[in-house]
Amino acid sequence: MAARKTTQRRSSPRRASAAPLIPTPRHGEQIWILDVPHRAPAPGAKYYKALKAFAYIGTQLPDELAVHASKPYSYARWVEEDLNGVRQPGATGFHKTPRPEQVDSAKAIATAFRHGKRGFLLADEPGVGKTGSAILGAKAALKLGGGDTVLITVDRPAQITIAAWRDALAAFGDGGYRWLIISPDQLKKLLGRNGQPKYSFSLVINDEAQQFRHLTAQRTQYQRRVNRLAATPEKAPFVITVTATPGHHPGEYTYLSSLFAQLHDDPPGEWADLGKKLVEHGLPLAPGWDKGKWDWNDQAKGSQQLQHQAVTRVRKWMTDCDPPVMMHRDAPWGPPPIDGLPLDFTATQWAAYHQDWSEFRSAMKIARQGNDTARGRAALMRFRQKAGMLRAPQTAELVAAHVERGYQVLVAVELVTTAADPVANLVEEHGIGVSRIFGGGDLETERIRFQRGHNPVVVFNTASSINLQASELMVDGSRASSARRIGFFHQPRYSGIAARQTMGRAHRDGQVCSWSLLFATGTVEEQAARIMISRLMVTSASVDGDLEAFAKLARLFDADWLPESIFE
């Protein structure tokens, strides 16, 4: 057999002069891992491929690089501490005194940990104080178990949510433990080349855990590995699951599959395909259209009562065990008031609504993006876009009128080009400042401008993990403006999870914020509103929440699918 011919490859000049894989400090020097935005200048720093980050080596970080220095509890800080072998101080801020319900939550979490449970579901209503409860519970569990590392996963947008958790740790104290706060986009960094976890955390907090409900999603796969859900309880970290909205149906509680396995004395692998296992237990589910997803079966889709019975049964697995592994408390200040504001289109608006999409786009000066066809689901989206854009002037007038009455107004949208942008622009034409929490830019600065009252209106498409309530206690001990908040759903959402989370952005921490659902009657928006309310009912029932808040709105649609027995 002839020998395979080999050739010697020359190293290119670029490769020969490349930075080493891992920076090596000399005596008296240390390594700074820098958070350098794309294309931002970082004089003196080098990019290290193995770290996937810029770093600076020296005795002191230059002033021009200080803006890029790692922040407490960030992934950059975590790597930096590992490389230098030195722990750095945590965040500091105004101290918060835990509320009694937060102390009760911490005790319940610690009790579950002490009895060998592999996790706990904290499902209080939005704004009741789940963040503080989770931090207190984590510290209590670590004190019992002797561990010292905590991973916190947050939802998007990371520039707001990571900062919020960092401020919360500063307010409630980090207990001297080592904490890491990351977004779902960073989860892959915690896995090695073999796909297995690089770190063994003592405890994990999954905030807004509903983001991990789709088993086939990449973020969910990463989360399951980091949480070691395939391992037995003694070989896995204790997981505090934080969400007021577990899913639209039990088949979406995938992040709780290993906890369910433990409650039924089964190996974790038997519950990996959660939907299949729930069907074996008699729940009315069936495979969905998308591979790997589950949905209500045909019988349950037509029966709100069957759905209610199913979510109640699964909830009781967690609340009726000893000790319980789930806690839910309704907001002491009551559920968010919500009503419907239907709008009748004019003849001109109806004509535009039924106009061909390409003609409508041209008339409304909407830039063409990608495939411009409108069939199937795309057609429904086009009609939603048209309805939302045609109603933008009315929404802007409504917002301006409430600002004149002294309110600070929240406008929740789902789409940007045909909803967020036109509504924000039209409100600004009234001479009113608008914070824009959508798209790019410095979203935290936009949030603060609204909270301080500099902008009376905020238009946003972020459904979770941001605070927009009146009188918020800031990290420096000051308060947000005390002006009453009022919210408008400019667009009905198909997601009950997103709708419920959205209302909790300002109806929280003792502050009441009423909401109105805007939609055009006789359009695709009316059907979306029906679905939204139906799913709101299920998400509330899944945690034994107050359902009466949605009854009035449901009856607006002559909701015969809403059995009165739910309220008995």
CA 221 to chain centre: 17
What is the model's pLDDT at position 560? 39
338-567 matches 100-327 in CATH topology: yes
pLDDT at 231 over 50: yes
Cα dist. 38→35, 42, 53, 440, 552 in Å?
Answer: 10, 10, 11, 13, 49
- The residues spanned by each domain of the chain are 18-69, 100-327, 338-567
What is the model's pLDDT at position 107? 98
What is the model's pLDDT at position 381? 86
Q: Is the peptide bond before 332 cis (omega within 30 degrees of 0)?
A: no
pLDDT at 1 over 50: no
DSSP 436-465: EESSSS-HHHHHHHHHTTSSSEEEE---SS
What is the model's pLDDT at position 474? 87
Span 388-410, mean pLDDT? 96
Quickly count helices (H) and strands (E) in the chain: 18, 17
Q: What is the pLDDT of residues 304-352, one digit of tens each?
A: 889 999 999 999 999 999 999 999 998 888 888 888 889 999 999 999 9
What is the model's pLDDT at position 4? 37
What is the model's pLDDT at position 557? 52
Bridge partners, residue 122, by sequence? 242, 327
Show the tokens assigned to 438.
């959508």
What is the model's pLDDT at position 23? 82
Q: What is the pLDDT of residues 198-229, one digit of tens each?
A: 999 999 999 999 999 999 999 999 999 999 99
Q: Which of 296-300, 506-510, 534-538 has the lowest mean pLDDT?
A: 534-538
What is the model's pLDDT at position 37? 83
DSSP 196-257: SBS---SEEEEETGGGG--TTSHHHHHHHHHTTTTS-GGGS-EEEEE-S---SSGGG-GGGH
Span 454-478, mean pLDDT? 91
- Backbone φ, ψ for residue 551 (5° rounding): -65, -45
What is the model's pLDDT at position 531? 82
Higher pLDDT among residues 396 and 17, named by residue: 396
What is the model's pLDDT at position 19? 47
What is the model's pLDDT at position 108? 98
pLDDT at 520 over 80: yes
Span 133-159, mean pLDDT? 94
Q: What is the pLDDT of residues 2-46, one digit of tens each?
A: 443 333 433 333 333 444 678 889 999 999 999 988 778 888 999
Nearest to 260 by CA among 215, 212, 329, 326: 326
pLDDT at 538 over 50: yes
Q: Which residues of 5-23 are buried (b: 16+ CB within 10 A; e: fewer)?
A: eeeeeeeeeeeeeeeeeeb
Topology of the domain comprising 338-567? Rossmann fold (3.40.50)
pLDDT at 548 over 80: no
On whether the CB atoms of residues 423 and 395 are closer than 8 A, the answer is yes
pLDDT at 353 over 90: yes
What is the model's pLDDT at position 289? 81
- Would you give the end-to-end CA distance of the chain in angstroms? 84
d(CA 315, CA 321): 10
pLDDT at 545 over 90: no
What is the model's pLDDT at position 566? 37
Nearest to 186 by CA among 215, 226, 239: 226
What's domain 100-327's superfamily in CATH? Tandem AAA-ATPase domain (3.40.50.10810)
Q: What is the pLDDT of residues 107-137, one digit of tens each?
A: 999 999 999 999 999 999 988 999 999 999 9
Query: Residue 365's pLDDT band (boundaries 50, 70, 90)?
Result: confident
Query: Residue 419's pLDDT band (boundaries 50, 70, 90)?
Result: very high
What is the model's pLDDT at position 373? 58
Nearest to 472 by CA among 133, 182, 168, 181: 168
Cα dist. 568→165, 547, 548, 557, 564 in Å?
Answer: 39, 11, 10, 21, 7
Q: Decide the pairing of beta strands 53-58 and 30-34.
A: antiparallel
Higher pLDDT among residues 497 and 21, named by residue: 497
Span 88-117, mean pLDDT? 95
On whether the CB atoms of residues 149 and 202 are closer than 8 A, the answer is yes
Q: Which of 139-148, 360-369, 554-563 has the lowest mean pLDDT?
A: 554-563
Highest mean pLDDT among 373-387, 418-432, 544-558: 418-432
On whether the CB atoms of residues 244 and 99 are closer than 8 A, the answer is no
Q: What is the pLDDT of residues 235-279, one digit of tens each?
A: 999 999 999 999 999 999 999 999 999 999 999 999 999 999 999
Span 548-556, mean pLDDT? 60
What is the model's pLDDT at position 375? 56
Span 154-182, mean pLDDT? 94
Query: Residue 437's pLDDT band (boundaries 50, 70, 90)?
Result: very high
The structure's pTM equals: 0.82
Average pLDDT along the chain: 89
- Backbone φ, ψ for residue 375 (5° rounding): -130, 150
On whether the CB atoms of residues 131 and 161 are closer than 8 A, the answer is no
